């Protein structure tokens, strides 16, 4: 009989499974988010994407839209998508899309050419054009052609805002243009500073000795060299190689995290978003993922 009770006890003991409970892992209920936090989120979105605060009617509409959709991640993405793409007329902005791409253009100018205004770029370009005319009239065609190339580069910078908005150029090409002009050269004078700057600005690291030497030979000697698995023999091709590399994509994602979240991305975050960007080549999608997150929204 004792044996029977002992066996019964063991059966009961081992049949009881302990339930694993992960603390602080509850699915958030967004319907309980205070209105003030939602308003702060909308305000932040408008500032980051358009460079301005929302008008009263915009704030009311966006907050109500989020409320009606339980402040879901999808509803946040839809608002961001609207701001990025809506071409309806908006007083003061022309349209959300135009204002959004102007803001993106300004942010990248801040990143790479110290936020130079279009007025300043045009002023520098007018001087370059005048130098071109003077050299041409003097018969100094070698220098004249160099000035004409610099004039073309700055025109590419100015035109890149509309070309990027229309989808004629990629965000990679936009960055290449920002690092291939006389203003970027003046900020990062001489070959040594230029090479270190373009690596640091775009991929958040300095070149190895091997990379630096090859880049220097490409720029100063027009020597064909390898960089990141690609060959090039001048400054233009150097920028083209860097801006179309996987490391550029990694740097772009890292810059986005620093800009919008105030921190660098983790290896897991970078790897996840790099795969999306490489597949879709859609930076706006990367933005929507970051800006619809609870971390960004402070929910």
Confidence at 11, pLDDT banded by 50, 70, 90: very low
pLDDT for the residue 10 = 44
Q: 183: closest CA among 119, 135, 104?
A: 119
pLDDT for the residue 88 = 96
SS3 content of the chain, % helix, strand, coil (to 5): 70, 5, 25
pLDDT of 81 > 70? The answer is yes
* Residue spans per domain, the chain: 31-98, 247-297
pLDDT for the residue 18 = 42
Residue pair 232/281 in contact by the 8 Å Cβ criterion: no
pLDDT of 24 > 90? The answer is no
CA–CA separation, 126 vs 131, rounded Å?
9
Confidence at 5, pLDDT banded by 50, 70, 90: very low
pLDDT for the residue 3 = 47
**Top-confidence residue, 20 or 156:** 156
What residues have CB less than 8 Å from 217, skipping those under 6 apart?
223, 225
pLDDT for the residue 28 = 60
pLDDT of 194 > 50? The answer is yes
- What DSSP line would sit under 129-190, residue for residue? HHHHHHHHHTT-HHHHHHHHHHHHHHHHHHHHHHHHHTTSS-HHHHHHHHTSSHHHHHHT-H
pLDDT for the residue 260 = 99
Q: How far lies 26's CA from each of 29, 31, 67, in Å?
A: 9, 14, 20
Question: Mean pLDDT for the chain?
Answer: 93
pLDDT of 299 > 60? The answer is yes
pLDDT tens sequence across 90-148: 988 899 999 999 999 999 999 999 999 999 999 999 999 999 999 999 999 999 999 99
CA–CA separation, 48 vs 100, rounded Å?
9
CA–CA separation, 291 vs 4, rounded Å?
64
Confidence at 22, pLDDT banded by 50, 70, 90: very low
Q: 70: closest CA among 14, 27, 29, 131?
A: 29
Confidence at 31, pLDDT banded by 50, 70, 90: confident
pLDDT for the residue 92 = 82
pLDDT of 15 > 60? The answer is no
pLDDT of 30 > 90? The answer is no
């Amino acid at each position: 009989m004792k044996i029977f009770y002992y066996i019964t006890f063991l059966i009961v003991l081992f049949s009881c499974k302990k339930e694993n409970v992960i603390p602080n892992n509850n699915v958030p209920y967004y319907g309980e988010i205070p209105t003030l936090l939602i308003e702060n989120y909308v305000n932040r979105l408008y500032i980051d994407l358009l460079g301005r605060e929302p008008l009263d009617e915009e704030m009311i509409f966006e907050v109500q839209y989020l409320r009606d959709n339980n402040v879901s991640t999808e509803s946040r993405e839809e608002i961001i998508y609207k701001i990025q793409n809506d071409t309806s007329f908006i007083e003061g902005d022309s349209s959300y899309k135009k204002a959004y791409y102007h803001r993106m253009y300004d942010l990248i100018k801040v990143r790479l050419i110290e936020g130079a205004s279009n007025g300043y770029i045009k002023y520098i370009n007018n001087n370059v054009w005048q130098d071109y005319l003077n050299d041409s009239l003097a018969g100094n065609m070698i220098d004249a052609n160099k000035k004409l190339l610099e004039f073309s580069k700055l025109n590419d910078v100015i035109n890149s805002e509309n070309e990027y908005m229309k989808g004629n150029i990629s965000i990679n090409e936009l960055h290449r243009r920002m690092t291939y002009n006389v203003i970027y050269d003046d900020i990062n004078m001489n070959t040594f500073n230029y090479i270190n700057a373009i690596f640091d600005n775009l991929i958040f690291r300095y070149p190895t000795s091997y990379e630096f030497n090859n880049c220097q030979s490409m720029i100063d000697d027009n020597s064909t060299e390898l960089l990141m698995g690609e060959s090039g023999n001048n400054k233009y091709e150097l920028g083209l190689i860097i801006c179309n590399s996987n490391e550029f994509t990694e740097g772009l994602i890292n810059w986005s995290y620093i800009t919008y979240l105030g921190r660098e991305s983790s290896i897991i975050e970078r790897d996840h978003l790099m795969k999306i960007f490489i597949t879709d080549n859609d930076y706006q999608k990367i933005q929507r993922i970051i800006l619809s997150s609870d971390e960004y929204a402070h929910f």
